[in-house]
């Protein structure tokens, strides 16, 4: 069974969202889902996981928030 | 592509930073957030240092430019509630440090590009301060989450910026204008405002930040923001060479002193404080234009810090740093270290349910 780790970085100042995502990726295997409400944090997270070799899919939810689904690139 | 954009923005900032000197702003001070906010505090009469009183239109331009582009792109969002009082006080501490060095991190780069080697000592202090801040971040430093607020909260700062613009144009008797000293050197209002608007837009779009630049390098080895700083330096260097403003050395540099220790400590305080805030003074102004009232609290703290610095003789002058300034900046450093320590938490609690692990909402 695949495991999911959920992270809520809404309302956090720079660069806390990136630090939390990095830490979560280092300590967990499987899929990481991140909830973000800021364009800047979302861009920064996408850039970070891109350089670390992960795949990131970004969707928006009904509250105009971003849902990032981060998985290991196959 | 992104890197090209931020490099271009940096080049634009460096270009405007020297062009404004050509149009009348003080030497090596075409754009300086700390100096200009200090001038605004003086223009409003919050301090009475006669040489530094002028409601600099560039500052209003940064805020309004960021506001307009954020509205246009849909990024404007009224938010706040992440330790606003502490952010105000951190803003004060940052300004005390900046006025001991005589400049914000942006002016540090502009001074470097004009050959002022005192700024190189400042740069080392700046990076040192950021390094300390990064240690707190690694230990989980956070001033807490912000929340969505009533939209009017986000309009307050751009409106304040507009009021300052109206005051500088109308020039009523209760507003101060320096007749000599740095604040008597000023580019025409429309040129200052246009440059400010352009910078506000560019920084909002590219997230350019002098603190983020070194922070991201140290923390996650991400050079993205570094391209902005390199751009500022390169364009300013070329412009300074063209206009004959470049002069390599430590002594007799415009609006600067040669006391290396206090240049180091001054910008170390700025580096640490701005890392705790999440961005350099310019970035705080831009965020305040985007609707972030926590950044606005920090910006108002910068104004209060400038008034405090001049009323109590903490601000440096080309003659050097007064003993009051030395004590003041050390108190600011101690305050920032305490904040860094108190707001760092080492562990984040998690909750497991089925195959899902969720971090507790902290």
Q: What is the pLDDT of residues A7-64, one digit of tens each?
A: 999 999 989 999 999 999 998 888 999 999 999 999 999 999 999 999 999 999 988 8
Tell me whether 0.90 is exceeded by the ipTM: yes
Interface mutation vs chain B, best among A13, A38, A60, most B CBs within 10 Å: A13
CA distance B291 to B31: 23
Which chain B residues touch A if contact means CB-CB below 8 Å? 2, 75, 77, 79, 82, 137-138, 142-143, 145-148, 207, 212, 215-216, 219-220, 222, 224, 277-279, 294, 348, 355-359, 361
C-beta of residue B178 within 8 angstroms of C-beta of residue B184: yes
CA distance B183 to B179: 8
Query: Is B140 a domain residue?
Result: yes
Query: Is B356 a domain residue?
Result: no
User: What angle in degrees, to the nearest 10, is found between the helix axes of B33-43 and B105-112?
Assistant: 120
Q: What is the mean pLDDT of residues B74-80?
A: 96
Of the pLDDT bands very low, low, confident and very high (cuts 50, 70, 90), residue B173 is very high
Query: Is B354 a domain residue?
Result: no
Please tell me the predicted confidence (pLDDT) of residue B346. Answer: 67
Q: Which residues of A touch B226 (CB under 8 A)?
A: none
pTM of the predicted structure, to 2 decimals: 0.96
Searching chain B, which residue's CA lies closest to the CA of residue A41? B207
Query: Is B362 a domain residue?
Result: no
Q: What is the mean pLDDT of residues B298-322?
A: 97
Q: Which domain holds residue B241?
A: 3-349
Tens digits of residue pLDDT in B114-125:
999 999 999 999
CA distance B201 to B204: 5
pLDDT at A1 over 60: no
Q: Which residues of B touch A37 (CB under 8 A)?
A: 77, 148
Tens digits of residue pLDDT in B194-212:
999 999 999 999 999 999 9
The CA distances from residue B199 to A21, B49, B63, B253, in Å, are: 31, 28, 9, 26
Would you call B247 helix, strand, or coil by DSSP?
coil
Tens digits of residue pLDDT in B15-39:
999 999 999 999 999 999 999 999 9
Q: Which residues of B touch A12 (CB under 8 A)?
A: 142, 145
Query: Is B252 a domain residue?
Result: yes
| Smallest Cα distance from A73 to chain B, Å | 20
Query: Is B357 a domain residue?
Result: no
Interface mutation vs chain A, best among B80, B86, B222, most A CBs within 10 Å: B222
- Chain-chain contact of B220 with A18 (C-beta, under 8 angstroms): yes
- Chain-chain contact of A7 with B359 (C-beta, under 8 angstroms): yes
Of A4, A5, A16, the CB nearest to B142: A16
- Chain-chain contact of B222 with A39 (C-beta, under 8 angstroms): no
Of B145, B278, B358, the CB nearest to A10: B145
CA distance B89 to B99: 15
Query: Is B14 a domain residue?
Result: yes
- Chain-chain contact of B356 with A2 (C-beta, under 8 angstroms): no
Token pair listed for B337: 């270290």
CA distance B27 to B6: 25
**Higher pLDDT pick, B361 / B170:** B170
- Residues near B71 by Cβ (< 8 Å), separated by ≥ 6? none
Searching chain A, which residue's CA lies closest to the CA of residue B147? A11
- Chain-chain contact of A3 with B279 (C-beta, under 8 angstroms): no
| Dihedrals phi, psi of B253, to nearest 5 degrees | -85, 145
Q: Domains (ranges, CATH) in chain A?
A: 4-72 (3.30.110.40)
Query: Is B359 a domain residue?
Result: no
For chain B, the domain total comes to 1
Range from B96-110, B284-298, B337-351 carrying the lowest mean pLDDT? B337-351
Give the DSSP H/E element, type plus range, for residue B79.
Answer: strand B79-80
Of B75, B220, B224, the CB nearest to A39: B75
C-beta of residue B273 within 8 angstroms of C-beta of residue B88: no
Please tell me the predicted confidence (pLDDT) of residue A2. Answer: 63
Tens digits of residue pLDDT in B104-117:
999 999 999 999 99
| Smallest Cα distance from A13 to chain B, Å | 6
Please tell me the predicted confidence (pLDDT) of residue B248. Answer: 97
C-beta of residue B101 within 8 angstroms of C-beta of residue B223: no
Please tell me the predicted confidence (pLDDT) of residue A3. Answer: 81
């Amino acid at each position: 069974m695949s495991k999911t780790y959920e992270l809520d970085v809404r309302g956090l100042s720079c660069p806390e969202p990136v630090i939390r995502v990095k830490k979560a990726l280092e300590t967990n295997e499987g899929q990481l889902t991140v909830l973000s409400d800021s364009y800047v944090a979302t861009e920064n997270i996408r850039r970070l996981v891109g350089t670390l070799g992960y795949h990131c899919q970004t969707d928006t939810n009904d509250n105009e928030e971003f849902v990032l689904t981060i998985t290991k690139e196959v | 592509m992104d890197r090209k954009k931020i490099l271009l923005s940096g080049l634009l900032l460096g270009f405007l930073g020297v062009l404004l000197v050509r149009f009348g702003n003080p030497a090596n001070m075409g754009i300086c957030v700390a100096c200009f906010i200090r001038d605004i505090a003086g223009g409003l009469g919050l301090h009475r240092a006669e040489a530094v009183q002028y409601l600099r239109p560039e500052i209003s331009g940064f805020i309004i430019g960021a506001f307009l582009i954020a509205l246009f792109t849909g990024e404007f969002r009224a938010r706040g509630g992440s330790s606003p009082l502490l952010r105000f006080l951190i803003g004060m501490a940052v300004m005390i440090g900046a006025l001991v060095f005589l400049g914000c991190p942006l002016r540090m780069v502009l001074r470097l590009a004009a050959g002022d080697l005192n700024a190189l000592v400042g740069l080392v202090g700046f990076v040192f301060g950021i390094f300390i801040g990064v240690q707190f971040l690694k230990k989980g430093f956070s001033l807490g989450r912000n929340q969505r607020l009533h939209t009017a909260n986000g309009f307050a700062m751009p409106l304040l910026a507009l009021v300052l613009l109206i005051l500088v144009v109308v020039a009523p008797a209760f507003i101060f204008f320096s007749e000599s000293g740095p604040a008597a050197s000023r580019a025409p209002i429309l040129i200052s405002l246009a440059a400010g608007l352009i910078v506000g837009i560019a920084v909002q779009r590219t997230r350019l930040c002098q603190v983020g630049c070194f922070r991201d390098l140290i923390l996650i080895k991400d050079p993205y923001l570094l391209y902005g700083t390199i751009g500022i330096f390169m364009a300013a260097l070329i412009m300074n060479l063209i206009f004959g403003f470049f002069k390599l050395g430590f002594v007799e540099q415009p609006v600067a002193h040669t006391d290396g220790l206090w240049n180091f400590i001054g910008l170390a305080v700025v580096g640490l404080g701005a890392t705790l805030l999440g961005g350099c003074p310019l970035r705080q102004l831009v965020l305040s234009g985007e609707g972030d009232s926590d950044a606005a609290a920090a910006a108002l703290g910068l104004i209060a810090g400038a008034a405090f610095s001049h009323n109590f003789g903490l601000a440096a002058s080309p003659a050097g740093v007064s003993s009051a300034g030395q004590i003041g900046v050390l108190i600011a450093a101690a305050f920032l270290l305490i904040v860094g320590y108190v707001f760092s938490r080492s562990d984040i609690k998690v909750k497991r349910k089925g195959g899902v692990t969720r971090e507790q909402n902290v």
